[in-house]
Amino acid sequence: MTMAASAPEPTPSLELTAPATGGLNTDPVSPATMSTQRLRNEDYPDYSSTDVSPEESPSEGLNNFSSSGSYQRFGESSSTTWFQTLIHLLKGNIGTGLLGLPLAVKNAGILMGPLSLLVIGIVAVHCMGILVKCAHHFCRRLNKPFVDYGETVMYGLESSPSSWLRNHAHWGRHIVDFFLIVTQLGFCCVYFVFLADNFKQVIEAANGTTNNCNNNETVILTPTMDSRLYMLTLLPFLVLLVLIRNLRVLSIFSLLANISMVVSLVMIYQFIVQRIPNPSRLPLVASWKTYPLFFGTAIFAFEGIGMVLPLENKMKDPRKFPVILYVGMAMITALYISLGCLGYLQFGADIQGSITLNLPNCWLYQSVKLLYSVGIFFTYALQFYVPAEIIIPFFVARVPEHWRLVVDLFVRTLLVCLTSVVCTGSLVGVQHS
């Protein structure tokens, strides 16, 4: 007895059944082995062999999505539109790393810097595209509405020709989930420090800040409370923000963040394009000793790759996601290259770690820090969404149903407090070193 490939509706579970005339072993098999055999015995090409290219299946799957109701997810109240997904994609990639790109270009050279940013952007988009295609492929093979990062890796390893990889496929999922949690919570920690430092700088320089933006005079800062107290002040507001569990609702905050960041970036561009000095004094290629510093900053700037599958999984029509991905990442890469180059051309060797530190000390450009901080504040919830989706289900599944909401909110609060504690500890370590 065999399973028909063109069943009218996806079955809730797939059973591996041996034919009466033999061929398959009828002995009991482990769940991991059964999962692997299920992948290999379905009516789909075996991409672990060298005779069939894995490039073919994702395109076929995309063509057949119009007849697969299990994957399109039309009409779900929590699904996002293409515009909301684009807003999330832009916001997830435009963060604190953008402000450090002029210094990154300095560490690579005025020619090598933008070329390297372009190459990194192309590689990042290509890898994102492969990831989405693999996810589409396994959704089609397993009749699942969506798969996350860990599941994509696990199913990929289960389809591997290596028996060792197939038997340890679940470890691939755990490793990917672990690094996603560390990476995304690391971004949240950086945002915490950025917010505290920026508010501290604006408040301490308030007495010396003027309305005259022509003279960039050195301002004597008025000491205020410690940065850790600023973090403690921000903590309850960030806790309230991450209690929003719906990605569709978060799109409103992403839109506000994008607006505030666009206004601040327009003000930055308006300043750095004026009276650009002669670029002939700038090196085309910097010393190889500083290139790793460029690479670290550039990789950090492309911080939205962890959001790719969560955004695609929440779309009403995921067939449109590849177009949104390529258009959005093209806009982001162009923004990175232009700001990095123009910032370095304007300030040269005097460029600082964040381009906002090179702006005149007047209220017009101090507002740039405040507007960008507002955008980073709302971005915290978007970056937090990824580790929350991995960690929270683990705890929620182990409590009675009437306690699930309480546990969900408690774990969210605990994770935000954890990022605050990590930031406070890092500041203490820096002060003692």
Please give the mean pLDDT across all residues of the chain: 79
pLDDT value of residue 221: 61
Lowest-confidence region among 22-26, 118-122, 145-149:
22-26
CA nearest to 389, candidates 316, 317, 306, 319:
306
Contact 361, 187 (CB under 8 A): no
- Report the distance separating Cα 6 and Cα 4, nearest Å: 6
Mean pLDDT for 164-193 is 91
- Report the distance separating Cα 317 and Cα 327, nearest Å: 17
Contact 109, 284 (CB under 8 A): yes
- 263: pLDDT confidence band, cut at 50, 70 and 90? very high
Torsion angle in degrees (nearest 10) through CA of 394, 398, 399, 400: 120
pLDDT value of residue 220: 60
- Report the distance separating Cα 28 and Cα 36, nearest Å: 14
pLDDT at 54 over 50: no
Q: What percent of the chain has pLDDT over 70?
A: 76
- 42: pLDDT confidence band, cut at 50, 70 and 90? very low
For 5-29, b/e burial (b = at least 16 CB within 10 A) is eeeeeeeeebeeeeeeeeeeeeeee
pLDDT at 107 over 60: yes
Residue listed under structure tokens 């917010």: 195
pLDDT at 344 over 50: yes
pLDDT value of residue 148: 86
pLDDT value of residue 269: 93
- Report the distance separating Cα 396 and Cα 379, nearest Å: 25
pLDDT digits (tens, 9 = 90+) for 55-80: 443 334 334 433 333 344 433 445 88
Mean pLDDT for 20-47 is 43
Residue listed under structure tokens 């000095």: 277
Distance linking the first and last C-alpha atoms of the chain = 70
Mean pLDDT for 166-186 is 91
